[in-house]
Amino acid sequence: MGLASGLWCYILPLADPLQPSAYEMQCISDFAENEKSHGRKLGVWVQEDKVRPQICQAITDASNKNPTERILPSKHNSICCRSFHPEGCDGRFVCHAAPAEAAQQIIEDGFIYSKHRLTGLGLDELADQGTWGDPADYFDYVALARGNCVAPDIVAMSRQFGRDLSPQEADEGFFPGVRFFFDLASLMQHPRAVWDGIHPIKIRDNLELNGNICAVVAPEFYPNGGKLHLQTSTHLNNKIIYLDHHKLPSLMLWSNAALEAVET
Ligand SMILES: [Zn+2]
């Protein structure tokens, strides 16, 4: 989030503040490395004195890990979405969500584009427009979330509303986006993969569907009640799954059902 002082701040709540998991330590290391690689100075506030040396060491040692050595996000190793999923959200599959019209465009393009590439706007211009104070380089990436994370639907709904919604607002007026699913272990081999310590992975500039996409999960209907049918090319024909959102009327229910549909 952006602060009044002009600083940018990210808060990583730890599942156990006295004993960070190996995955959480990797996130801290990734965050430090990513910030340093963009020339930004980093200040860190740690709540518990006991773990400060451990976290300082992770920051000092920050370096780009070989993808094969990376710890994958999973239930229990972070608290992502625990207010929606008591065990945390899962990360074998990662996803990007978009409203139906934007999803149709992604399918026709064959690519998910970064906001910078999609809009043609400058990175600094996009950063000035952002609500959360994200640095300009964040708009140069396609960011992926964990497979049943609730964040992608909040982002998709915010696109439809034209402003950033809170999780509570999104849950009250919930309507799901179309989720594009990718296998995280495979995506880690992507030549433009980057780890910022916040997202499980992100890809610079664009992510091609062909060769990467595992499944697309879409609501059966548009918000106006019309039947949704995504026009697809052959390589996606058998990868689109429609779910009835009327039976899954919340961020938690939809995100879990979408991931389960991919896993089964
Ligand atoms: Zn999550």
DSSP string, 209-262: STTTEEEEEEESB-TTSPBP-----GGGGGGEEEE-GGG--SHHHHHHHHHHHH
Residues 105 and 224 in one domain: yes
User: 174 and 48 in one domain?
Assistant: no
Strand, helix or coil at 55? helix
120 occurs within a structural domain:
yes
Q: What's the average model confidence in pLDDT over 103-115?
A: 96
| pTM of the predicted model as reported, rounded to 2 decimal places | 0.92
Half-sphere exposure of 121 (CA within 13 A, CB side): 14
1: in domain? no
- d(C-alpha 70, C-alpha 7), whole Å: 30
Residue 28 and residue 79 in one domain: no
Q: Are 46 and 52 spatial neighbours (Cβ–Cβ below 8 Å)?
A: yes
Q: Give the residue numbers spanning the domain of 59.
A: 22-64
Shared domain for 236 and 113, answered yes or no, is yes
89 and 190 housed in the same domain:
yes
Give a yes or no: residue 9 inside a domain.
Answer: no
Q: Measuring CA to CA, which residue among 155, 142, 134, 135 is closest to residue 193?
A: 142
How many angstroms is it from 64 CA to the middle of ligand 1?
23
Kindly state whether residue 10 falls inside one of the protein's structural domains: no
Q: How far is the CA of 85 from the centre of ligand 1 (A)?
A: 8
| Residues 210-242 pLDDT 10s | 999 999 999 999 888 899 999 887 778 789 999
Ligand 1 centre and the CA of 233: distance in Å? 31
Highest mean pLDDT, choosing among 7-11, 65-69, 187-191: 187-191
- Tell how far the Cα of 109 is from the centroid of ligand 1, in angstroms: 28
Q: Give the Cα separation of 27 and 137 in Å (integer).
A: 18
In this prediction, residues 37-64 reach a mean pLDDT of 88
**Do 49 and 172 reside in the same domain of the chain?**
no
> Does residue 243 share a domain with residue 195?
yes
114 and 54 co-located in one domain: no
Total count of domains within the chain: 2
Q: How far is CA 231 from CA 107, 181, 209, 227, in A?
A: 8, 18, 15, 13
Q: Which pLDDT value is given to residue 2?
A: 67
Q: Determine the pLDDT at residue 159.
A: 81
- Distance (Å) from CA 77 to ligand 1 centroid: 12
Same domain, yes or no: 81 and 212:
yes
Same domain, 173 and 109: yes
Determine the residue type at 27: C
